[in-house]
């Protein structure tokens, strides 16, 4: 039995999320079914994080246990062949120790949220970025974002369906930058609550348009009440970028 670490890139548009769902297709289901066709084994795909319907990934780290004797190179090629035409690709594959776990060995996660700040409709980035037409002040968004960095109770920014036992999290980074007509929000932490990144982005958008200011964002955090949330950003602008482990740093593409 070998444990393989996989790095997945996927377009989340046609899926109900990464994790298996009863009500629609998922990335996990697609990969597990591909592996069954390759090896004739029922395996479980364990991942560094979960994603909602429509959320994308540049480098989601996962692992599987497989009895079949196969090299990582051949396994990667076989999975990619079986996944076609689903918009999922295995970009790296390696054998790892039996005690390495994609989720529990992970010490940090990074996300990117993309906003396209223009009036013209999206052609190439439809379902891959959030279009916001009013001008956004990215500098004001970045300054306000810093009130969220640190160790806080993020109840305001968690989904009512969040299953985490504790709403207190340490947010290591929340940076906002303008890249041409896009505004990028970078978030990093050991772990996140359900909808936390999207909820923070939604409120930062309100800051960017001048509807909110830094003090209003701080008050929303202090309220520790989902009712204080201003806006939840849509899923399709969100990308899982990187999973970090103690022995290595998997760089995003």
Query: What positions carry a catalytic annotation?
Result: 52
Q: Which residues lie below 8 Å from residue 205, measured CB to CB, with a gap of 6+? A: 115, 132, 136, 141, 231, 233
Among 172, 195, 181, 189, which Cα is nearest to 138's?
Answer: 181
User: Dihedrals φ, ψ of 196, to 5°?
Assistant: -60, -50
C-alpha 239/C-alpha 65 separation (Å) is: 26
Q: Which residues lie below 8 Å from residue 153, measured CB to CB, with a gap of 6+? A: 167, 168, 224
Region of residue 143 (phi > 0: left; psi between -120 and 50: alpha; otherwise: beta):
alpha
Segments of the chain assigned E as strands:
2-10, 46-47, 56-66, 88-96, 108-116, 130-131, 150-153, 168-179, 182-189, 238-245, 248-249
């Amino acid at each position: 039995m070998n444990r393989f670490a996989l790095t997945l890139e996927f377009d989340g548009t046609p899926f109900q999320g990464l994790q298996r769902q009863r009500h629609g297709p998922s990335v996990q289901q697609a990969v597990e079914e591909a592996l069954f066709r390759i090896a004739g084994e029922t395996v479980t795909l364990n991942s560094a994080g979960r994603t909602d319907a429509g959320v994308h990934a540049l480098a989601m780290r996962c692992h599987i246990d497989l009895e079949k004797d196969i090299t990582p190179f051949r396994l990667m090629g076989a999975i990619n062949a079986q996944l076609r035409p689903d918009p999922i690709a295995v970009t790296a594959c390696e054998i790892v120790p039996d005690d390495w776990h994609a989720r529990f060995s992970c010490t940090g996660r990074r996300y990117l949220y993309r906003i396209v700040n223009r009036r013209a409709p999206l052609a190439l980035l439809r379902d891959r970025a959030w279009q916001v037409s009013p001008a956004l002040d990215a500098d004001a968004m970045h300054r306000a974002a810093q009130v969220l960095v640190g160790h806080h109770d993020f109840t305001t920014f968690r989904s009512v369906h969040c299953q985490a036992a504790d709403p207190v999290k340490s947010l290591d980074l929340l940076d906002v930058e303008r890249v041409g007509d896009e505004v990028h929000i970078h978030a990093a932490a050991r772990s996140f609550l359900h909808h936390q990144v999207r909820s923070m982005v939604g409120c930062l958008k309100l800051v960017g348009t001048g509807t909110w200011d830094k003090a209003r964002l701080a008050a929303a955090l202090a309220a520790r009440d989902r009712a204080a949330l201003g806006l939840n950003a849509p899923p399709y602008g969100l990308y899982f970028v990187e999973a970090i482990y103690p022995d290595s740093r998997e760089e995003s593409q």
